[in-house]
């Protein structure tokens, strides 16, 4: 059984009469507790049990709404209309060129200046979860077409399921993901070097110095990106002199649920497995965290104090014809699901 409760988390500042109450929803099973707010469908807390049976909050974030309203690195947020980077913020659809905000110069990142992470969604409580919906107007952040989107979180025992659906009245690129930052030792822990990570991918996308894929689909074999067997992160990054990961790993394409990644923290016994229908997963090791933000309970979040495993389409796919298509056409439905399975042993 999953228990679902709601409360007011805070109020958005009134800008041109656009304030409003932000609600928080608590999903609770016998082994997992998740808190999600209606601003950006943000996961603000995620408590899972270690082998000692005690719950710890394993995602980075803030105690108060103010933290999420101010600038932050997308902690826990739903990302859209297009996750990740679009080169030079430009793309052409059906012969027309579109220009987006260059909010991560020289590129557009995570939907632009005011992406799906920074808007209020309309909540609907379900038996075992919560469904959020919104309509992104035609031209919002420079994207074509009115897009209706639904993000549904359900909790089933130790498994958090996130489903994304979208429909558009005009052809538009769409790629939705969640940007939760995890530390299985508990948020506020200093680093993730003792985590063991594996990703079920035979290839990855090399990037240029602005983190845009070069277009090459490279084999992981005999490289630092071969994570098909678990590696201890700190040791692995040292061995290959890696400043960290911020790369898309290419998954076997499938319409159905399939396993793609695993993170394990030996001291606590916590394990997270990721399953998805998406063609890619961005593995990010918190390289841009710098300890400047005050997080939950006064925690600071230095570099490499968390990781993200963001299931999504390949970055800049709208400009790379040989990548999986990012385009959603009228009459079609974008529909992807990601499952996060939490265990302890």
Alpha carbon dihedral 250, 82, 183, 3, in 10-degree steps, equals -110
Say what percent of the chain tops pLDDT 90.
96
310 among known catalytic residues: yes
Confidence of residue 16 (pLDDT cuts 50, 70, 90): low
**Mean of pLDDT values over 152-168:** 98
330 beta partners: none
Q: Average pLDDT of the chain?
A: 97
Inform me whether the pLDDT recorded for 115 exceeds 80.
yes
Q: What is the pLDDT of residue 90?
A: 98
User: Which pair of tokens denotes residue 183?
Assistant: 């530390």
Reported as a single tens digit per residue, the pLDDT across 278-303 is 999 999 999 999 999 999 999 999 99
Q: What is the pLDDT of residue 255?
A: 86
Burial of 286 (0-12, 13-18, 19+ CB in 10 A): buried
Inform me whether the pLDDT recorded for 65 exceeds 90.
yes
**Mean of pLDDT values over 217-225:** 98
Q: What is the pLDDT of residue 129?
A: 98
Compare 120 and 255 and report the one with higher pLDDT. Answer: 120
Inform me whether the pLDDT recorded for 342 exceeds 70.
yes
Confidence of residue 311 (pLDDT cuts 50, 70, 90): very high
- The residue annotated as part of the active site, out of 72, 110, 179, 195, is 179
Inform me whether the pLDDT recorded for 253 exceeds 90.
no
**Mean of pLDDT values over 89-98:** 98
Q: Is 230 left (phi over 0), alpha (psi -120 to 50) or beta?
A: beta
Q: What is the pLDDT of residue 110?
A: 98
Q: What is the pLDDT of residue 223?
A: 98
141 among known catalytic residues: no
Dist CA 276 CA 217 (whole Å): 20
- Cα 34 to chain center, whole Å? 15
**Mean of pLDDT values over 32-49:** 98
Q: What is the pLDDT of residue 14?
A: 77
Q: What is the pLDDT of residue 60?
A: 98
Distance (Å) of CA 234 to CA 41, 60, 129, 197, 272: 31, 20, 36, 11, 18
Q: What is the pLDDT of residue 301?
A: 98
Reported as a single tens digit per residue, the pLDDT across 194-205 is 999 999 999 999
- The residue annotated as part of the active site, out of 140, 141, 310, 336, is 310
Q: What is the pLDDT of residue 18?
A: 62
Question: Which residues contact residue 238 at a Cβ distance below 8 angstroms, ignoring those fewer than 6 apart?
Answer: none
Inform me whether the pLDDT recorded for 17 exceeds 70.
no
**Mean of pLDDT values over 82-108:** 98
Note whether 36 and 27 are within 8 A (CB).
yes
Whole-structure pTM value: 0.97
Backbone angles phi, psi at 47, to 5 degrees: -105, 130
């Amino acid at each position: 059984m999953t228990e679902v409760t709601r409360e007011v988390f805070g109020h958005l500042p009134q800008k041109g009469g656009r304030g409003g109450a932000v609600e928080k929803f608590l999903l609770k099973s016998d082994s997992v507790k998740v808190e999600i707010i209606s601003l950006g469908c943000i996961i603000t807390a995620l408590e899972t049990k270690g082998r000692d049976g005690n719950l710890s909050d394993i995602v980075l974030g803030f105690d108060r709404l103010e933290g999420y309203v101010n600038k932050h690195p997308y902690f826990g947020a739903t990302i859209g209309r297009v996750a990740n980077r679009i080169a030079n913020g430009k793309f052409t659809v059906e012969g027309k060129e579109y220009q987006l905000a260059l909010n991560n110069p020289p590129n557009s990142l995570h939907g632009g200046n005011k992406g799906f992470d920074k808007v209020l969604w309309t909540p609907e409580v379900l038996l075992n979860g919560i469904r959020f919906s919104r309509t992104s107007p035609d031209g919002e952040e420079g994207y074509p077409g009115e897009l209706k989107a639904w993000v549904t979180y359900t909790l089933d025992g130790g498994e958090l399921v996130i489903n994304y659906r979208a429909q558009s009245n005009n052809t538009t690129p769409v790629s939705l993901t969640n940007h939760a930052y995890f530390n299985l030792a508990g948020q506020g822990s200093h680093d993730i070097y003792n985590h063991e990570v594996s990703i079920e991918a035979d290839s990855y996308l090399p990037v240029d110095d602005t983190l845009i894929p070069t277009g090459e689909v490279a084999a992981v074999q005999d490289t630092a990106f071969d994570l098909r067997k678990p590696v201890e992160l700190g040791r692995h990054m040292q061995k290959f002199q890696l400043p960290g990961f911020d790369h898309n790993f290419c998954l076997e394409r499938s319409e159905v649920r399939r396993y793609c990644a695993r993170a394990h923290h030996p001291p606590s016994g916590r394990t997270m497995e990721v399953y998805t229908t998406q063609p890619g997963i961005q593995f990010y090791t918190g390289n841009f965290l710098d300890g400047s933000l005050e997080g939950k309970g006064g925690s600071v979040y230095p570099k490499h104090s968390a990781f993200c495993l963001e299931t999504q389409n390949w970055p800049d796919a709208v400009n790379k014809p040989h990548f999986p298509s990012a385009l959603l056409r009228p009459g079609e439905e974008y529909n992807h699901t990601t499952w996060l399975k939490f265990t302890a042993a």
